[in-house]
A and B are shown apart, each in its own frame.
Chain A
C-alpha cells in the first residue's frame, strides 16, 4: 500500500512532484517546517534509548558481562556527557575512536564478542534485524543531551585525525567528482527541498553534528553518525565506507570538533 509506494517513489525519485502549481516555494518551505515541528513531540528514538539502556546493563556475550565497566573516555561506566567529548584518543586501544568503535571495543574486551560479531549488522533493518549498536548509541548519546560539545585536540593523534578529516572533507572523487564540500560547503543551499548545512562553518557544523543520531522517519530506524557518513558516501558514488574505519573517525573528528561549544541535542527526529 502506501508504504510500498513511498519506497518505490523514493527509489525512483521521479515522482517527487506531488505539489501542484498553486503552491509557491515560500509556503512549501513553511509547511515543511510545520511538518518537522509536528514530529518533534514523540520521537520513536526513545524506544531505541530504552532498549540501549537495557543492553548496556544486561550481562551479555561469552563473558556474560555488562557494559557498565566500559570506559567511554570519562572513566569506566561513566555515560553522562561522554558523547559530547568523542571522538578521543584511547590509550588502551592505541587509537582515536568515536562512540561506535569504542562500543565495539568494549563489546570485544569486556563481553568477549569477536569483532566480526560485534560489527556484523551495525545498521538495523526492521524488527528482524535490530542493531544493538544503534540502540546503545541512542542510549549513550541521550545521556549527553544539553551538554556542550567539548572535543579535545590536545593529543597529537587527535590533531592528526582532525587534519586528515579536514582533507577528506574536500576530497573529490568518484564518477561525479563529489566531495563532502560539494553539498556542504556553502550557506543557504538545498538539494531538492532538503536544506544542506554548511559544515565548513561553526554554525553549520554545530547544527548538523548535534542532531545526530536521529530517528529517520523515511526509514523508521534510529541512525548513527557512522550511518550518516556511510550513506553520504554512497550518494557521493564512492565505494562503501568501512564501518569504524580510520577515515570515518577522522571525518567525525573534524565535524565534531567544529561543533564544539554547542549543546548536544540528540537523538533527534528527521525526515
Chain B
C-alpha cells in the first residue's frame, strides 16, 4: 500500500527512456502496455516456488498478450508456431506413447507449479479442468475441445502419435496463442509424463478410446 508514487515512477521511467508521455492525450497502447507490465512487477512478491521471474514474458507470451482479444495476424501466428515447434524435444528412444494409466492420473492431478504446491512432488496436467477425456469422468471442463475417442476417430497412426506428443509438449507449435499450457517446453511435465498423457489419448486400450 505504499505505492501511490508508483505510477508516477513508471511514467518518469518511460520519459527517461525517451518515450514521451503526452499530458493531455491518452497514452498509446504500447505506453499503457509498458506501464501495466511495470505495475505488475511491483505488485507481486515471490512465494514458494513462484519467483518474480514468472512475470518475465517470453516472446510467445508477449505477442499473445498483445494480440489478446484481437485477430492474430497470419504471419505472427506462423512465426509463433515455427518458433515453438523448434522447442519440442522428441524422445531420444523414439517412443512417443507411454502408459495410459499413468496418463489418466496426470490428467486428473491439479497440483503443480503453484506457490502453494510442494515443488518436490511431480506436477499434474489437470487435463480434465478443460477437456473431456475418459467418459467415466463427468467433472470435466469445456475450455478446450472434447478429446473423447481422440485416437479412435483420428486413427492410431505414427503421425497422430507424434502430434499428440508434440501438442502436449508445446501446444503453441500447432496453434499460436492457444489457451493450453506448453507442458514439456515449460518444464511442467517430464518427458515420461508427456508420453503417458499421449498414451491416454492414443492407446487403443485407454478409456478415452473406448
Contacts and interface: CB of A to CB of B under 8 A. Distances in A.
B36 interface: yes
B114 A235 contact: yes
Nearest to B51: A239
Q: Which residue, B26, B172, B179, has most C-beta atoms of chain A within 10 A? A: B179
Interface stretch (B93-101, B156-164, B180-188): B180-188
A28 to B, nearest CB: 6
Nearest to B109: A14
A126 interface: no
Contacts, number: 187
Interface residues of B, number: 64
B109 to A, nearest CB: 6
Contacts of A119: 1
Interface string B175-195: 000010110001110000000
Contacts of A129: none
A185 B69 contact: yes
B18 interface: no
Contact of B44 (A105, A160, A176, A239): A239
A200 B139 CA distance: 25
Contact of B181 (A104, A178, A181): A178
B32 A164 contact: yes
A62 B116 CA distance: 35
A57 interface: no
Of B42, B136, B139, the most chain A CB neighbours within 10 A belong to B139
Nearest to B132: A25
Given A14-B105, A167-B33, A239-B47, A175 B129 contact: no
Given A14-B108, A246-B43, 10 more contacts: A19-B139, A93-B4, A119-B1, A167-B36, A171-B37, A173-B56, A173-B57, A174-B50, A189-B142, A245-B1
6 contacts: A12-B111, A177-B182, A185-B68, A190-B143, A196-B143, A234-B115
